[in-house]
């Protein structure tokens, strides 16, 4: 077989094996604002051939308001409670790639739901990369009151030890999305979480 054809075959069998190994479970992307969860998640879902859902968009649809409006009108606690419910609903209704908001995985119940119904992938990124990316848009209420870099650094210190509980860690950086997607696919392919025959978490 020619090299190109062999490569295509290998890729197709990697994709099929990931899809089968997942069964009804989801791939759940976690990480700080600006880590690329939505953009990379969408591409990853397309590559595997399963649906993509962005939890923040679903929260906005459920509330009929933007995230900024929810924070401004009802406060963060209200947002977090809606976030937890929406993620639980999504993770118990079929396999998909799910991009979560940066604070979602900090909730203990959500971490349990993710562990029960999904494989978690932390898109880990350096502070400068994140700050550069979030500065392009003004849609993140947590970054509105103060210096975005200092706020991101504080969130990083608080959250990275918890994000570290994720099943898989991939470095998000200024590289083509396809490169990061390929790294996630390789990590999933080699993961014992996907090789158990009954699609449950490996003991």
Minimum CB distance to ligand S3P, residue 152 (Å):
9
Which CB sits closer to ligand S3P, 25 or 37? 37
- Residue ranges binding ligand S3P (CB under 6 A): 33, 37, 56, 67, 101-103, 140-142
Tell me which residue has its CB nearest to ligand S3P. Answer: 101
Cβ-count burial 19-40 (b if 16+ within 10 Å, e if not): eebbeebbbbbbbbbbbbbbeb
Shortest distance (Å) from residue 153 CB to ligand S3P: 13
Instruction: Report, in Å, the least distance between residue 82 CB and ligand S3P.
Output: 10
Q: Which is nearer to ligand S3P, 21 or 34 (CB)?
A: 34
The residue (of 119 and 125) whose beta carbon lies closer to ligand S3P is 125
* Alpha carbon distance 9, 26 (integer Å): 24
Nearer to ligand S3P, 59 or 188 (CB): 59
Residue 144 is given by DSSP the state S
Shortest reach from residue 21's CB to ligand S3P, in Å: 27
Round to whole Å and give the CA distance between 110 and 106: 8
Instruction: State the minimum distance, in angstroms, from the CB of residue 112 to ligand S3P.
Output: 19
d(C-alpha 35, C-alpha 26), whole Å: 19
**Is the separation of the CB atoms in 187 and 194 below 8 Å?**
no
Residues 37, 99: Cα–Cα separation, whole Å = 5
- Which of 95, 103 has the CB closer to ligand S3P? 103
Check: CB of residue 53 under 8 Å from CB of residue 97: yes
Cα(35)–Cα(124) distance, integer angstroms: 7
């Amino acid at each position: 077989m020619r090299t190109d054809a062999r490569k295509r075959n290998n890729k197709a069998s990697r994709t099929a094996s990931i899809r089968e190994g997942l069964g009804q479970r989801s791939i759940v992307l976690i990480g700080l604002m600006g880590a690329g969860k939505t953009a990379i998640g969408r591409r990853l879902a397309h590559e595997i051939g399963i649906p993509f859902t962005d939890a923040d968009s679903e929260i906005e649809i459920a509330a009929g308001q933007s995230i900024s409006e929810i924070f401004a009108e009802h406060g963060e606690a209200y947002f977090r409670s809606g976030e937890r419910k929406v993620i639980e609903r999504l993770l118990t209704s079929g396999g998909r790639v799910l991009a979560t908001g940066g604070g979602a995985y900090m909730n203990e119940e959500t971490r349990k739901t993710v562990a029960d119904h999904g494989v978690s992938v932390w898109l880990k990124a350096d502070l400068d990369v994140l700050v550069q990316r979030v500065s392009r848009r003004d849609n993140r209420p947590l970054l509105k009151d103060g210096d975005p870099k200092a706020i991101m650094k504080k969130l990083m210190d608080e959250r990275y030890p918890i994000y570290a509980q994720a099943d898989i860690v991939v470095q998000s950086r200024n590289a083509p999305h396809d490169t990061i997607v390929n790294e996630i696919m390789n990590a999933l392919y080699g993961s014992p979480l996907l090789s158990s025959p009954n699609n449950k978490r490996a003991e």
